[in-house]
Structure 1
């Protein structure tokens, strides 16, 4: 929620100016900083005061601007009374170089949870695993973040996620660094055709799985496009298969593609394999590993997520509108278009067009009587 007008950047700076406080606020990323003409720091060999910046250490929220105005007035008062001393700031946590990575990450986590809808398991799985790479007792610098980015392989999901998550942290701190320039070419379009089984192969390998419970897991992923962890938290309802929890929360998967697979794969009777501590494994984001190991055990030559990708491509073949298809799969229409529509060949597009044009209810041109 944007700050109220009373405690926005322009309003606070105007009050400081009207009060003849010679301090101004500005933003680096989402953090508030003070700028003023200050004496050189003790280790800087300069004879005269010059424009310098001090971090207030708070984000750009209503509460943050209120705190920042107080700090700016205090700084202005110290300057006028000639009581300013760099030890009041250098020895505190106001300056990034004097704060540890642990301190910044803890503050960022609190801020992010206040401003975003995020679960603890998502934080641990998507964010904390990257921030753990920072030395906890060292300061966070542009050089350190760039070094961590370069430890990841180019053009991989790991590189992309590392760049994105570290850039968000850098913006929060107020560091002037562009890490996204190193993210490479990895993206949703990197789903390779060779990784996606044909519908015929999906049926063939389903038949080869000897364990009925894991055969059900495989079948429900294939027919409903569930994520590998969602299969443990679904139930039948009148309108379809309901996912109780997963990466994007609850959702109703209201159609199987193909509907015939529900009976062929025996999906009406939910048969979950005996997996200990399912909830703990879910929180630790390890359920997917459990499913992948079973796929390898039964010699399935593709990863579990390939079944979801095959489902995504099938929604296009079924002429589902991207918005509806995205709702089926529990992601955004933009992700759906980017990830799956590129797999549709010219032949499939022509076939889809012919089906549409052969319908009796297709749009007809207007009839304009001759006058």
Structure 2
């Protein structure tokens, strides 16, 4: 997918291990992106020092400096037209901006320009033309959104280490920017904001704004998207109850009996893989991708896996973790450790490139397609929300539940607990009251036992005193 021109950027990232994060939110992704941006800037500045040493050795009388994401040439030159000769020397030190970005490619261009300027200075032939006055940059025509989209991947990975996660993130930004904008529009803030305003659904607008923000950062387009940065308050979701989840697994069986004749013999049993997928999402609250990106099938079937955990690979959205199940009985009820289904999983992912975001996306979309095909009233991610709510109802600490789902406590509380329906709240309150009643009952029973124990102690003491009295009487 990427070209050879990107190799030097990825080599620069070779010694960087992206910060581990359990936050799949925009905030978590932004922190990782910032870390990579700072790493690349450090690499550029180190290379800049080397370039300036070469220029000094060549006695070019020009240096290169970095300022606000751009590279500038610094040299002592004849007074610029319209400028004051305050020292009376006829010369002055200037920073010349040639609109060169501060990256590894820009450094190469800047070094070439520095040598060219150095020759003009040495020959005393320098003149203030449009190039050095910056007029060429001003005259430069704006590019269209479509033209920049063609360059988006190449430019994006100049500041991001190319991994499975970053590929997925880029595809998210690219696909949404392309979907919600007009490629023929000029890539200016006014047109991009106009595109956002035409989106009716709040969540679609919020997600598009995130993508367009990344697009604008990549191409240094000044834009204010703060109006769209707040996560929408409401969204319609149908969070299934445990009973509905159990009924859902049975709908796959119904599909088998009602589907009619299957033309393609190779696909006769494929429904079993998607039923297994459904069950795993319900038991572990996983993101669908976490089943398909380098799954540790051997561990899942291992006898040593006594806790019945699913190992999420490090290339997934929020890094590696071991997810623990809720309702362990479902693992047996849904037959989730049947080697047959895991062989089907191997077959499905063997045909895919696990580093290719588009192919992994195709598998996750297939999951959603099966949900619709068998007539489920909820979506794959609703099983994840259901897991979070169930964990809350069972009294599992928020930090433990959040870690198990692979996100931050903030995301857990702000995102998942918003989906509590009235029925869910009633269930949670009733269970809490039931637990309190159980505690009170235990306390009452303990008090009763203490009273009976004190009574028995009195009886024992009474019998002891009587025995002492009898012995004393007999001796007398």
Quickly name the TM-score band, shorter chain normalised. 0.5 to 0.7
Mark the CA change 1:84 to 1:290 in structure 2 (over 3 Å): closer, same or farther.
same
Shift of 1:126: 0.8
Match in the other structure for 1:86: 130
1:110 to 2:157 alignment: yes
Per-residue deviation, residues 30-57 of structure 1 (Å, max 9, x unmatched)? x3276999779xxxxxxxxxxx995633
Q: Residues 157-196 of structure 1: matches in 2 within 5 Å?
A: 158-183=204-229, 185-186=231-232, 190=234, 192=236, 194-196=237-239
Shift of 1:321: 3.0
Mark the CA change 1:323 to 1:69 in structure 2 (over 3 Å): closer, same or farther.
farther
Match in the other structure for 1:3: 42
Per-residue deviation, residues 281-306 of structure 1 (Å, max 9, x unmatched)? 86431112211221222222211221
- Counterpart CA distance in 1 for 2:195 and 2:168 is 21
Aligned residue pairs total: 332
- Counterpart CA distance in 2 for 1:6 and 1:179 is 33
Point out where structure 2 has 5 or more consecutive residues left out of the alignment.
1-38, 53-60, 83-94, 257-270, 443-476
Mark the CA change 1:202 to 1:184 in structure 2 (over 3 Å): closer, same or farther.
same
- Counterpart CA distance in 1 for 2:81 and 2:225 is 33
Point out where structure 1 has 5 or more consecutive residues left out of the alignment.
13-19, 41-51, 361-371
Mark the CA change 1:353 to 1:132 in structure 2 (over 3 Å): closer, same or farther.
same
Q: Residues 310-329 of structure 1: matches in 2 within 5 Å?
A: 310-329=386-405
Specify which structure has the bigger relative contact order, considering alpha-carbon pairs within 8 angstroms and separated by 6 or more residues: 2
The answer to whether the Cα contact below 8 Å between 1:197 and 1:306 also exists between their aligned partners in 2 is: yes
Shift of 1:311: 0.8
Match in the other structure for 1:208: 251
Match in the other structure for 1:43: none
Higher alpha-carbon Rg: 2
Match in the other structure for 2:461: none
The answer to whether the Cα contact below 8 Å between 1:197 and 1:302 also exists between their aligned partners in 2 is: yes
Match in the other structure for 1:279: 352
- Counterpart CA distance in 1 for 2:186 and 2:243 is 55
Shift of 1:86: 1.8
CA RMSD of aligned residues (A): 4.8
Q: Residues 301-312 of structure 1: matches in 2 within 5 Å?
A: 301-312=377-388
Match in the other structure for 1:32: 70
Aligned partner of 1:265 among 334, 337, 347? 334
Normalised by the size of structure 2, how large is the TM-score?
0.55
Partner SS, residue 97 of structure 1: coil
Aligned partner of 1:288 among 364, 381, 390? 364
Per-residue deviation, residues 69-128 of structure 1 (Å, max 9, x unmatched)? 9969988998997612225666579957369525752552232324x7564641553122
Partner SS, residue 100 of structure 2: strand
- Counterpart CA distance in 2 for 1:102 and 1:282 is 17
Shift of 1:319: 2.8
Which has more helix, going by share of residues?
2
Mark the CA change 1:54 to 1:147 in structure 2 (over 3 Å): closer, same or farther.
farther
Aligned partner of 1:251 among 320, 336, 342? 320
